Amino acid sequence: MLTAQTERVKNQPYVDMKLYHFGFHIGFHSQDLLLTHNGIPVNGETWFAEIPSYSPGFSVGVIGDMYMNPYFSLRVTPTIHFGDKSFVFKEKGTGEEFKANVRSNYVTLPVDIKYSALRLNNYRPYLLAGAYGALDIGRKKGNPLLLKGMDYGIEFGIGCDVYLPFFKFCPELKFCFGLADVLEKDRPDLVDRDMVKYSDALSKATSRMVVLTFNFE
């Protein structure tokens, strides 16, 4: 009697055994940068920068999944992230502020290993980890702060497969950590040379991103 109550009819009981399956995802993300300041005065001024708030961006991509064994699969999820970052620069002595907005539209290619727990009725939680490469297609020269066009890093995530009659719905949360210094220090593109002080205030910048997607497979 207890088994009959806890076990339900499973939707798509063999879907995870397919060698390949595909899908798409849509969702939201938040971009951030880990900034390292050099603290060196230039012309008597010492500037510091921060990102005081975060604006949600939009993400869309496709999913390719290859079956490895009952618990592991290899996933490739090419994704486009549309977003921006708002910087506030502050001069240490006078408190003068300068605000700048930098748009970053990334095309990313993550390759992850997905570990899935045992399936319980029509639910199956999972963990994933992997690496990614990123191309910034939205960068615009002439901004006070310019980021490099290429980036790479590692990512970790958690999600849950929900088995519906005709497809799997999977809410997924990922944390992405860039490993490269994406700060462009050579700035011949700046017509107003006074703007160089904002780039010179930083010695390094590495990317961070939190991504919430809804997968349809």
pLDDT at 4: 47
pLDDT in the model for residue 146: 87
Cα gap 130→119, rounded to integer Å: 23
Do the beta carbons of residue 140 and residue 103 sit within 8 Å? yes
pLDDT, tens digit only, all 217 positions of the chain: 444 445 678 888 888 889 999 999 999 999 999 989 887 777 778 888 888 878 899 999 999 999 999 999 999 999 999 998 888 888 888 888 888 888 889 999 999 999 999 999 999 999 999 999 999 998 888 788 888 999 999 999 999 999 999 999 999 999 999 999 999 888 888 777 777 888 888 889 999 999 999 999 9
17-216: CATH architecture:
Beta Barrel (2.40)
pLDDT digits (tens, 9 = 90+) for 158-213: 999 999 999 999 999 999 999 999 998 888 887 777 778 888 888 899 999 999 99
How much is the pLDDT for 53? 78
Confidence at residue 102, expressed as pLDDT on a 0 to 100 scale? 85
For 199, the 3-state DSSP assignment is helix
Contact 18, 54 (CB under 8 A): no
How do 79-91 and 97-116 pair as beta strands?
Answer: antiparallel
Instruction: Strands of the chain (E only): list them.
Output: 20-37, 47-50, 57-67, 72-76, 79-91, 97-116, 123-136, 150-163, 168-178, 202-216
What pLDDT shows up at residue 7? 64
Predicted pLDDT of residue 179? 97
- Predicted local confidence at residue 178, as pLDDT: 97
Report pTM. Answer: 0.88
Classify 55 as helix, strand or coil. coil
**pLDDT recorded at residue 50:** 85
Which residue type occupies 217?
Answer: E
For the chain, percent of residues with pLDDT exceeding 90? 59
- pLDDT at position 108 is 98
